[in-house]
Structure 1
Amino acid sequence: MSQNKDKGSSQALWVHIAITYGYVFLWITLSAAVILYNKWVLAYYAFPYPIALTMWHMFFCAGLASLIIRAGYVEPVKMNAETYVRTIVPIGFLYAGTLWLGNAAYVYLSVSFIQMLKASMPVAVFAVGCMFGTEYFTIPRLLNMLVIGTGIAIASYGEINFIWIGVVLQMSSVATESMRLTLVQILLQASMAGCGRLWRRGIKLNPITTLYLIAPCCFAFLCVPFAFIELPKIINDTSVKLSPLIFLTNAGAAFGLNMAVFLLIGKTSALTMNVAGVVKDWILILLSYLIYKAPVTAMNLEGYGLAFAAVCFYNFRKLQEMQAASRAPAASSKSGGISMVPVQDEESTRLLQDSKMGGTSSSTALAGSGGTPLSSRG
C-alpha cells in the first residue's frame, strides 16, 4: 500500500516537474517571439513607431484583462484612488519608459547587440540600489560591476552597426527598468515593515489583475510623447502599414508573454529563472544572426562572454547570500518547532507540495527578477 502511494507521489512529482519546465520553455519561446516580432514590425514592416506599438500592446492587454474580469473568470481587485496613485502610478510611469525606450532601440540596433547591452542591468540596479539603500556597497561588488561594464564596452567596440542613438535609447531603458525594480523593492520592504498600503490591506495580484491595473496607467503616460512625437509623423506617412492581422497577433504574443512570465515566477525558483534568461539571450543572439543576418563579430562574443561570466558570478553570489540569510532564521526557529526550507530546496519543495495538493496557488507582487511582468518587448 505504501509502495503504491510512494509510486503515485513520484509520478505526480515528475508530472509537475514536466509542467514547470514546460513553463520555462513557453516563456523562452514567447519572449524570443515577441522580441523578434517587434524587431520585424519596427524595422522591416514600415511601421517605425515604437510608442504607438507599445501603446497598442497596453491597450490590448488592458482590454483583454478587463473582459476576463467582467466575465467573472477572475475576481476584481478593490483599490481606492490613494492606493493606486501611491503604488501603481509610479511603477506604471517607469515601466512605460522602459517599454517605449526599449522598443525604440530595435529601430536602430540588432537584436543580438541589444541583448548584449541588456547585460548591464545588474550594474544599473546596483548603482540605483546603492543610491536608495536597497543594495550595499562593497569593493568586490564594485569590481564585479566593473568587469561587466568592461565586457559590454568590448562588445560595443566590436559592434559593426553601432548607432549612438540606439545605444542611448537602450541604456535609458535599462536605467528606467532599474529604477522600477528598486521602487518595487522599496515598496515590498515597506510592506514587510507594516507601512505598505497595498500588501497590508491584503490585496493580492494575479497576472490578469496586474495587467488590468498597470496597463492603462502605462497607456496614459505614453499618450503624451505619442501626441507630440509620433502622431504627426504617422498622419503624414503615406507608406505606413496597419494590417489588423499583424497587430492582433503581435499584441496577442505580448499578452501571452505576460501570462508566461507570471506562471514562471509562480512555479520556479530564482535560479531557474536566471538560467532560463541566459539561455534565452544566447538563443536570441543566434536567431538574430540567422533570421536578420545581423553581423556578430568575434569581439562581440568575447565582450559579451566576459560580461556574461561576470553576471553569472554576481547571480551566484546573490543566491549564496539568500541561502545564508535563510539559514539564519532557520537555526533560530528550531527551538520553536518551526521548520524553515533552505533556498536551494525552494523549487523542489514547491513541486512536492503541489503534487500533494493537486494544484498550485501563488500570489504575485509587482516585482521582477530577471523576468519582467507586464512585458511587451520580451
Structure 2
Amino acid sequence: MSAMKSWGRVSTMGLVAAWYSSNIGVLLLNKYLLSNYGFKYPIFLTMCHMTACSLLSYIAIVWMKMAPVHTVKSRVQFMKISALSLIFCASVVSGNISLKYLPVSFNQAIGATTPFFTAVFAYLMTLNREAWLTYVTLIPVVAGVIIATGSEPSFHLFGFIMCVGATAARALKTVVQGILLSSEGEKLNSMNLLLYMAPIAVVLLLPVTLCMEENVVGATLALARDDLTIIWLLLFNSGLAYFVNLTNFLVTNHTSALTLQVLGNAKGAAAVVISILIFKNPVSVTGMLGYSLTIVGVILYSEAKKRSK
C-alpha cells in the first residue's frame, strides 16, 4: 500500500514538473520567437497552436482514449462552445501580441491579477458576491501590479493594454464557462472542451490572420529558406502548447483545482526568475517588490475563497 502511495506521489510530482516545464517553456519560446527571433506574427502563431491542439486532442481522446469522448448534444451547446472559443482566441492572441512588446517578467506580473478580473466578472454577470475578506485580499493583487507598472524599465503602453486585455479575457472565459456549461448534461472536461474549441478557434483565426498578417506564409517560407530552424521551432512550440493543456488536465485530476491555483502562482514566480536569467531584461527592485505583493495577494485570495466555502 505504501509503495502504491509513494508511486502516486512520484507520478503527481512528475506531472507537476511536466506542467511547469511545458507552461514556462511555451511562454519563453513565444517570447523568443516574437521578440528575439524576428518572427512578428502573433496571430499566426496562435493559429499554429490551435491547429496542433485540434489534431493532438483528437489523437489523445479518440485514438488513445485518454479521456471519455463527450459529444455535443445540441446546436445551443455548440454555440456556447463557439462563444467560449472566441473569448479564448482573444485571450491567447492578446497575450502573444503583448509578448512582442513586454518582458515575460512584467507579462506574468499583470497575468497574476486574473483573480481580480474573475471576481469582477463573476459579480457583474452572476451577481455572485464573495465574503468581504475575499475582496480585501484583491487590494494587494492590484496594488502590486500598479507598483510594478510604475517602475517597469521596459514599459510599453500598447503591450500593457494587450496584456491586461489577455488577462481579463482569461478571467471572462472562466466565468462564462461556469455560466454556459453549468448544467450536468452540458459539462465537458477540459480535454473535451479543447477538442471542440480548438478547431473553431482555427476557423475564427484564419480570416483574421489573412487580413492582419497577409504575407505570413510567404514570410515564414522566406525565413525557412534562410534557416530551417523556424519550422522546427513552430512545430515544437505548437506541440508544447497542447502539452500545457494536457498536463493541466492531468494535474487537476491528480490533485484539485485549488492545488492547481497555488501551483500556478508558484509557476508564475518561477517563469519571472527564469525569463530574467535568460533574456536579461532590466528589472527594478521596486518592480520585484510590486510583483511579490501581487503574489502574496493571490495566495491570500485563494485562502479567503477556501474559507468562505
Q: TM-score, normalised by structure 2?
A: 0.90
Matches within 5 A, 1:265-276: 265-276=252-263
Structure 1: which amino acid aligns with 2:269? W
Paired with 1:81 and 1:221, the residues of 2 have a C-alpha distance of 21
Number of the residue aligned with 1:13: 5
Structure 1: which amino acid aligns with 2:94? L
Paired with 1:221 and 1:252, the residues of 2 have a C-alpha distance of 20
The 3-state SS of whatever aligns with 1:231 is coil
Structure 1 contact 87–198 (Cα < 8 Å) conserved? no
The 3-state SS of whatever aligns with 1:160 is coil
Residue 36 in structure 1 maps to residue 14 in structure 2 = no
Matches within 5 A, 1:274-289: 274-289=261-276
Task: Select 1:290's aligned residue among 277, 288, 292.
Answer: 277
Structure 2 contact 112–268 (Cα < 8 Å) conserved? no
Matches within 5 A, 1:68-87: 68=60, 71=63, 73=65, 76-80=69-73, 82-87=75-80
- 5+ long unaligned stretches in structure 2: none
Q: Which runs of 4+ in 1 moved over 6 A?
A: 236-239
Number of the residue aligned with 2:199: 216
Number of the residue aligned with 1:351: none
- 5+ long unaligned stretches in structure 1: 1-8, 323-378
Structure 1 contact 46–240 (Cα < 8 Å) conserved? no
Paired with 1:252 and 1:213, the residues of 2 have a C-alpha distance of 17
Pairwise CA distance, 1:65? 2.8
Structure 2: which amino acid aligns with 1:94? I
Number of the residue aligned with 1:229: 212
The 3-state SS of whatever aligns with 1:106 is helix
Number of the residue aligned with 1:159: 152
Pairwise CA distance, 1:272? 2.3
Moved more, 309-318 or 126-135: 126-135
Pairwise CA distance, 1:159? 0.3
Number of the residue aligned with 1:248: 235
Structure 2: which amino acid aligns with 1:278? N
Deviation sequence 1:124-161 (CA, Å, 0-9, x none): 11111110126305544443323321111000111000
Paired with 1:71 and 1:14, the residues of 2 have a C-alpha distance of 30
Moved more, 273-282 or 93-102: 273-282
Residue 56 in structure 1 maps to residue 54 in structure 2 = no
The 3-state SS of whatever aligns with 2:37 is coil
Deviation sequence 1:235-279 (CA, Å, 0-9, x none): 578964573211111111112212111101111123421231122
Structure 1: which amino acid aligns with 2:159? G
Higher Cα radius of gyration: 1
Residue 104 in structure 1 maps to residue 91 in structure 2 = no
Deviation sequence 1:298-328 (CA, Å, 0-9, x none): 0111111111111111111111123xxxxxx
Structure 2: which amino acid aligns with 1:302? L
Structure 1 contact 30–257 (Cα < 8 Å) conserved? yes
Structure 2: which amino acid aligns with 1:171? V
RMSD of Structure 2 on Structure 1 (CA): 2.3
The 3-state SS of whatever aligns with 2:214 is helix
The 3-state SS of whatever aligns with 2:40 is coil
Task: Select 1:299's aligned residue among 261, 280, 286.
Answer: 286
Task: Select 1:125's aligned residue among 102, 118, 125.
Answer: 118
Pairwise CA distance, 1:187? 3.1
The 3-state SS of whatever aligns with 2:213 is helix
Paired with 2:257 and 2:189, the residues of 1 have a C-alpha distance of 19
Pairwise CA distance, 1:179? 1.1
Number of the residue aligned with 1:198: 186
The 3-state SS of whatever aligns with 1:198 is coil
Paired with 2:64 and 2:253, the residues of 1 have a C-alpha distance of 22
State, as a whole percentage, how many aligned pairs show the same letter.
26
Pairwise CA distance, 1:191? 1.0
Number of the residue aligned with 2:161: 168
Structure 1 contact 134–182 (Cα < 8 Å) conserved? no
Moved more, 138-147 or 108-117: 138-147
Greater share of helix residues, 1 or 2?
Answer: 2
Paired with 1:218 and 1:162, the residues of 2 have a C-alpha distance of 30
Pairwise CA distance, 1:78? 2.9
The 3-state SS of whatever aligns with 1:281 is helix
Task: Report how many residues are paired.
Answer: 304
Structure 1: which amino acid aligns with 2:298? V
Structure 1 contact 60–251 (Cα < 8 Å) conserved? yes
